[in-house]
Amino acid sequence: MDAIRVRGGKPLVGKVKVSGAKNAALPILCATLLSDGESKLRNVPALRDIETTAALLRFLGRGVNVNAPEVVVEAGKDVRPEAPYELVKQMRASVLVLGPLLARFGRAKVSLPGGCAIGARPIDQHLKGFEAMGATIKLERGYVIAECGRLRGAEVCFDLPTVTGTENVMMAAALAKGRSTLVNCAREPEVEELARVLNKMGAEIDGAGTDVIHVRGREQGELLPFDHAIIPDRIEAGTYMCAAAMNEGSDVIVEGAEIQDLEALVLKMRQAGVEVSTEGQSIRIRRTGPIRSVNVTTAPHPGFPTDMQAQFLVLMTTAKGESVVSETIFENRMMHVPELQRMNADIALRGNTAVVSGPVKLTGASVMATDLRASASLIIAGLAAEGETEVRRVYHLDRGYEHIEAKLGALGASIERVKGAM
């Protein structure tokens, strides 16, 4: 498996362009199942998760051409509404085919994703939504088997805001008979982006991006194929913003980022003493002096994103004083902490709260993480560490960051991919 080798200490200078949002592209690829025609997605990142979704759509019976940044899902009717464990276990977002399959074909058999590195991540809220719409749900041998004649519009109140749960139920509601009201929805920009695409297809959805979404269901055949360019990846943008803040003298322009989707991060970075300014669709990050400690607690959007927690925590190792970083979304999302401790970080971990004391001089080490954002945080740590850091099991990084070593290298980082490292 490849590794990424970083030599720390160099400020980053220059421009980096953000790719399309992985977590917007995945549900939108699944939404192509709501129509029989050929759909085209643009600005799709070249990532393993996109390949996995394409493989899943092919297994279901649709032709898919991935030629990032373009993906074409070919026209086709003969879909087998079944997602096997082999594909779902590679990527939890595969459960996003459940809503479209059920709405289109009245039946779906999709493997339960099981736990993952960051937590148990149940899908009970997705299932509760489908049941409210009239589906019967059975769990058999690790599979969800959902059946319905025709889904009917319903009132669904989620017990907690779930991003893919909101997306799954919203896609199902788009083809249900009558109106649906979804309450306590996730407000993430990716949910809003999916609604934008569904509306382009002919759906009638209001309120996406707020906690109440109204959907007026369409008849079979009324949702049409689409051509759509995916929004920029706010988490990739935020990751480069944190990377730029690690060394004094850095001056980086993150191009194609939507600052309104990154408000909580921008606020915290400014409190920490990082200069953040916007120029059109670009965000400029300058680090001209020391970093101050800041506390963060992750929360659903528009709160501080769990997907930025690891990267921001690394920045706090360079801050003067004590920062308290609390994770509230996933129960096992502090796996970067023991690796960072091996890099000389001073962090006391109590459950899901990390108390980070600094500033410390990080030192390079061989490190490894079993989750995407944790892996990115270790690369960021390597950028400021003395000596060489080797981040292993880059498999996770390749799921979510397009050409990360090339992008950081172009900013002046000393970074390379080592093919086939242990």
Question: Nearest Cα to 313, choosing from 270, 361, 273, 345?
Answer: 345
Q: Which of 173, 179, 230 is nearest to 22 (CA)?
A: 230
- Of the listed pieces 2-10, 13-21, 114-122, 141-149, which binds ligand EPU according to CB under 6 A? 114-122
> Which string of b and e fits 107-145 if b means at least 16 CB within 10 Å?
ebbbbbbeeeebeebebebbbbbbebbbbebeeeeebbb
Which of 16, 25 has the CB closer to ligand EPU? 25
Q: Does 100 engage in binding with ligand EPU (CB under 6 A)?
A: no
Interaction of residue 114 with ligand EPU, rule CB under 6 A:
no
Residue 125 engages ligand EPU in binding (rule: CB under 6 A): yes
Secondary structure of residue 49 in the 3-state scheme = helix
**Bridge partner residues of 194 (DSSP):** none
116 is catalytic: yes
Of 92 and 392, nearer to ligand EPU (C-beta) is 92
Stretch of 36-44, 117-125, 267-275, 351-359 contacting ligand EPU, by CB under 6 A: 117-125
In whole angstroms, how far apart are CA 108 and each of 83, 177, 408? 8, 18, 42
First to last CA, the chain: 6
Site string (17-36) toward ligand EPU, x via CB under 6 A: ------x--x----------
110: contact with ligand EPU by CB under 6 A: no
Q: CB nearer to ligand EPU: give 11 or 400.
A: 400
* By the rule CB under 6 A, 61 interacts with ligand EPU: no
Rg, C-alpha atoms of the chain:
21
For 411, which DSSP code?
T
Is 121 one of the binding residues for ligand EPU (CB under 6 A)?
yes
Q: Does 315 bind ligand EPU (CB under 6 A)?
A: no
Q: Which is nearer to ligand EPU, 52 or 164 (CB)?
A: 164
Residues of this chain that bind ligand EPU (CB under 6 A): 23, 26, 92-93, 119, 121-126, 160, 162-165, 186, 190, 306-307, 329-330, 372-373, 400
